[in-house]
Every structure is written in C-alpha cells, then in structure tokens.
Structure 1
Amino acid sequence: MDSMGKAATAIVTIVILRWGWKLLNWVWLNPKKLEKWMRDEGYKGNPYKLLIGDMIEFATIVKEGKSKASPITHDITSYALPFDHHIISK
C-alpha cells in the first residue's frame, strides 16, 4: 500500500470513529446524563430505555384509558391524555 492509500485509510478510520462517538453520545451518553441530572434534582420517572423508550407503557395506558367510560366531569385529563396524566401524577 502506498502512502496515499495509508493516508486515505487513516482519514476514513478517523471519520468513522468520530461518527461513532457522536452517535454513542447522542443515543446513550446525553440521555443518561440528563436522567442523572433530573434524578439529582428530585424528579422521579421511568429510566431511559434505548430505542423503545416508554412506547409499550404508553400503548398499554392509552388502551386502558380508551376502554373506560368517558367521565361526566370537566376533568377529563385522565381520559383524553392518559399517559400524560400518568407521568405527571407519577
């Protein structure tokens, strides 16, 4: 391999490593740092889950909320926005 090929390989390797670090930082390190900061501030909540997040819990709560009869009061938050109501109450 000549010197141009080695330089190109080194540049490609550096670009891939940098892209990988940015991806890791965006997908895992920043959310975990934010989660730690919020817990230190006293907020409780669900832990960070890669990719799926709260989607399973969200779907379950929305399904349960829609299966209940609509309330006759003005406070319909638990019916209209069941997941938001659950998170805020938690």
Structure 2
Amino acid sequence: MEITTVSCVLGVVAMLLFYMSWKISNWLWFKPKKMEKFLRDQGLKGTPYRFMYGDLKEMGQMLKESMSKPMNLNHDIVPRVMPFFHKFITTFGRSVLDS
C-alpha cells in the first residue's frame, strides 16, 4: 500500500513540474518566437528575440562608444544620446516604431 501511494504522489509531482516548466518555457521562449515570426510575416523587420537580455548589451556598447567620441557642432544630438534607436530607425525605418 505504501509503494502505490508514494508512486502516485511522485507521479503527480512530476506531472506538476512538467506542466510548470512547459508554462514557463512557453512564456519565455515559444510565445516571443511565435510573435516574432508573426510580425516578420506581416513585413515588420527588427532585431531577433534574445532570451533574458534582449538588445541591452548592444545598447550599452553603442552608448559607451558614442560617448567616447567628440560631439559635432551641428546640433544633431540623437546619434549621441540614443545611438541604438537612431541606428534602428535608419536601418528598419520609422514605420516599425509607429505601428
């Protein structure tokens, strides 16, 4: 009688762990990748989905690089203050941000 009860409890715990891991992986990986594919199919381009940090590493590197250069006197401060967004708009166009 003990072995059946223990195996039933372990089976329920295993199923619960599998269910929770599926929900978490769906939330963190499968759903964003599906959304990325859906947007690309509609013609919207952008950077690919990256788990956890996204574009933060690239944003930090670009900001550090732009701050190390002297600023031009033409009052165009956007490439210096927001270099990632400036590159994004010049690469993919303004229509990506408007929609």
Q: 1:89: Cα distance to partner? A: 2.1
Look up the SS of the partner of 1:53 in the other structure.
coil
Trace 1:4-43 onto structure 2 (pairs within 5 A). 4-43=5-44
After TM superposition, the score normalised by the length of structure 2 is: 0.75
Paired position in structure 2 for 1:2 = 3
Count of residues in Structure 1 that have an aligned counterpart in Structure 2: 90
26-35 or 65-74, which deviates more: 65-74
**Structure-2 separation of matches of 1:75 and 1:43:** 27
Q: 1:78: Cα distance to partner? A: 1.2
User: Structure 1: 5+ residue runs without aligned partners?
Assistant: none
Identity over aligned residues, as a percent? 36
**Structure-1 separation of matches of 2:11 and 2:30:** 26
Contact conserved, 1:71 with 1:79, CA < 8 A, in 2?
no
After TM superposition, the score normalised by the length of structure 1 is: 0.81
User: Structure 2: 5+ residue runs without aligned partners?
Assistant: 92-99
Match of 1:13, as an amino acid? Answer: A
Trace 1:66-77 onto structure 2 (pairs within 5 A). 66-77=67-78
**Structure-2 separation of matches of 1:73 and 1:16:** 59
21-30 or 42-51, which deviates more: 42-51
Q: What's the C-alpha RMSD, in Å, of the aligned pairs?
A: 1.9
Per-residue CA shift, 1:38-67, capped at 9, x if unaligned?
111212122122334323322221122112
Paired position in structure 1 for 2:95 = none
